[in-house]
């Protein structure tokens, strides 16, 4: 019998889905639901899954440290791997165990701090281009323009990722251009409503994965475009060019050089298929991870703008950007409140024992337990946002001035959050993401004031591969967040 049956948990849901509607289908606001469960049951609780299957949910930091730093004993479950594998292949995001360890060792030099610094000017150039586009829209709209931030920021980050990742111009910000095949492929993924539905029902009945359907065919065609059409073109260029040419510093070229380095044993190098599989993974992760929050948070945005305007230049250096504390707090808070994948799922790869910082009392025996025996195949859910307690849903950058002791032990790769996870499976590109977000916020918040163009309750989260904002009244349109922007009039 599973030990998880002894752990307290919330009221059971339906017989088929159990509590998974709140975890996987993202009904309502999952962080609120999770917070209610955790307040009632404590930091470790038992949930019901499909057909009564037991799951473990925990935010106990000792348990999280054990799970994340023994990551290869707790891989992603099939339910979260099957369809992303069809989209991005067996790249570093999907790979597990020794295969993941091998890929990460080869790829890590390309994502070092020193290499990411070299992309700063590209971040500034593309963010400035977007600023000019929005300014033109404001002029055409008598000073106040309605903007879909998802559309514009997706095109911005796609342009950035193509240039920095592959030295490849998509130029998708230019409205006069017909979207190229890479842009169209990425948009196809973002609007593929079938991804979430297929993921759920394929988990219930695995045979459904093999039944042809239009949504799956589109996803497979998208992967063909990204991994094979674009991938083989880039790989051919890398082979015919001088891969030792140090002036070529896009991520793909750095990866090619690192993979061919004499320091990497031949049996540890990535195959051509491995290298090709990184292309859709990098494009999707680098461009889709999270839209930048620029909607006006009243006093927070005003305070941030004051700090940014106090900088004497429109094109700050990396050091000047890093000397802006409130910008740093806003970035941290944005990623804390809006993690790309709020509920993190893992599965026990073998029978194991998970230690706890805070013991729990079992319902049936009334005994205190400071560890949890877990059986191979049992699912573990981590509610990332709920780690921050009662005010976790509140956007408050000032909390980063002095973080509470209760979150000081969160085992994250960056800044006491799990937005980029932690341990050997932490996000390899987190430095890139942070640097990019800082530049985009600097350029746009400094120049524009903004407000939602729809009531706040209209904005809901929908999940494809990651979370995206959608309008409750227009879900068929796909991801969108309409705002009004006006040019901020600077005081002389």
Query: What are φ and ψ of residue 471, in 5° steps?
Result: -85, 130
Give the tokens for residue 272: 């051509």
Using DSSP, state whether 105 is helix, strand or coil: helix
Packing angle between helix 272-288 and helix 149-166, nearest 10 degrees?
Answer: 150
Strands 448-452 vs 379-383: parallel, antiparallel or unpaired: unpaired
Using DSSP, state whether 411 is helix, strand or coil: coil
Cβ 144 vs Cβ 488: under 8 Å = no
Q: What region, left, alpha or beta, does residue 262 occupy, with left being phi > 0 and alpha being psi -120 to 50 degrees?
A: alpha
List, as one string, the DSSP characters of 392-429.
TTS--GGGGGS--GGGTT---SBTTBSTT--GGGS-TT
Nearby residues of 399 by Cβ (< 8 Å), 6 or more positions away: 329, 333
- Is 41 assigned a ligand-binding role in the annotation? no
* Distance of alpha carbon 374 from alpha carbon 351, whole angstroms: 6
Using DSSP, state whether 338 is helix, strand or coil: coil
Packing angle between helix 272-288 and helix 78-88, nearest 10 degrees?
Answer: 100
Cβ 364 vs Cβ 72: under 8 Å = no
For residue 467, the cross-strand partners are 463
Using DSSP, state whether 369 is helix, strand or coil: strand
Tallying the residues shown for the chain, one arrives at: 492
Cβ 62 vs Cβ 355: under 8 Å = yes
Nearby residues of 353 by Cβ (< 8 Å), 6 or more positions away: 371, 372, 373, 374
Cβ 62 vs Cβ 179: under 8 Å = no
* Distance of alpha carbon 277 from alpha carbon 89, whole angstroms: 5
Nearby residues of 285 by Cβ (< 8 Å), 6 or more positions away: 93, 427, 429
* Distance of alpha carbon 259 from alpha carbon 400, whole angstroms: 39
Give the tokens for residue 236: 């051919």
Using DSSP, state whether 18 is helix, strand or coil: strand
Cβ 347 vs Cβ 375: under 8 Å = no
Output the CA angle 382-383-384, nearest 5 degrees: 100
Q: Can you say which residues are annotated as belonging to the binding site?
A: 427
Q: Can you say which residues are annotated as belonging to the binding site for heme?
A: 427
């Amino acid at each position: 019998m599973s030990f998880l049956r002894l752990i307290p948990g919330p009221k059971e849901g339906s017989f088929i889905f159990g509590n998974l509607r709140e975890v996987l289908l993202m009904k309502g606001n999952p962080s609120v639901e999770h917070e209610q469960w955790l307040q009632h049951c404590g930091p470790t609780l038992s949930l019901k899954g499909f057909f009564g299957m037991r799951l473990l949910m925990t935010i106990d930091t000792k348990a999280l440290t054990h799970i994340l730093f023994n990551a290869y004993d707790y891989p992603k479950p099939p339910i979260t791997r099957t369809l992303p594998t069809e989209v991005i292949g067996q790249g570093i995001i999907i790979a597990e165990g020794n295969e993941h360890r091998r890929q990460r060792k080869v790829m890590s030099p390309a994502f070092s701090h020193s290499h990411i610094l070299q992309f700063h000017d590209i971040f500034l150039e593309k963010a400035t281009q977007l600023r000019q586009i929005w300014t033109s829209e404001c002029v055409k709209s008598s000073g106040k323009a309605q903007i879909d931030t998802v559309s514009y920021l997706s095109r911005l980050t796609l342009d950035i990722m193509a240039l920095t990742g592959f030295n490849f111009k998509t130029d998708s910000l230019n409205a006069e251009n017909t979207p190229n095949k890479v842009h169209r492929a990425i948009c196809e993924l973002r609007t593929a409503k079938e991804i979430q539905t297929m993921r759920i029902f394929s988990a219930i009945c695995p045979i459904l994965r093999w039944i042809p359907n239009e949504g799956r065919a589109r996803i497979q065609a998208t992967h063909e475009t990204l991994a094979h059409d674009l991938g083989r073109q880039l790989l051919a260029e890398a082979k015919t060019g001088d891969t030792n040419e140090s002036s070529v510093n896009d991520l793909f070229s750095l990866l090619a050089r690192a993979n061919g380095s004499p320091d990497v044993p031949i049996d540890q190098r990535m195959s051509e298929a491995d290298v090709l599989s990184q292309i859709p993974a990098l494009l999707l992760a680098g461009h889709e991870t999270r839209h930048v929050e620029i909607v006006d948070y009243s006093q927070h945005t005003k305070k941030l703008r004051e700090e940014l305007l106090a900088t004497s230049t429109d094109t700050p250096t990396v050091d000047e950007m890093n000397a802006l504390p409130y910008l740093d707090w806003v970035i941290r808070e944005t990623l804390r409140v809006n993690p790309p994948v709020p509920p993190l799922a893992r599965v026990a790869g073998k029978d194991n024992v998970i230690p706890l910082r805070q013991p729990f009392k079992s319902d049936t025996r009334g005994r205190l337990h400071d560890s949890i025996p877990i059986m191979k195949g049992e699912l573990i859910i981590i509610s990332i946002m709920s780690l921050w307690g009662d005010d976790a849903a509140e956007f408050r950058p000032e909390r980063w001035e002095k973080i509470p002791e209760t979150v000081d032990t969160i085992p994250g790769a960056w800044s006491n959050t799990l937005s980029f996870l932690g341990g050997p499976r932490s996000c390899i590109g987190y430095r890139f993401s942070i640097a990019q977000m800082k530049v985009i916020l600097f350029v746009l918040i400094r120049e524009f004031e903004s407000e939602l163009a729809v009531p706040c309750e209209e904005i809901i989260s929908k999940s494809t591969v990651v979370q995206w904002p959608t309008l409750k009244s227009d879900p068929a349109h796909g991801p969108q967040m309409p705002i009004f922007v006006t040019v901020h009039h600077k005081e002389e």
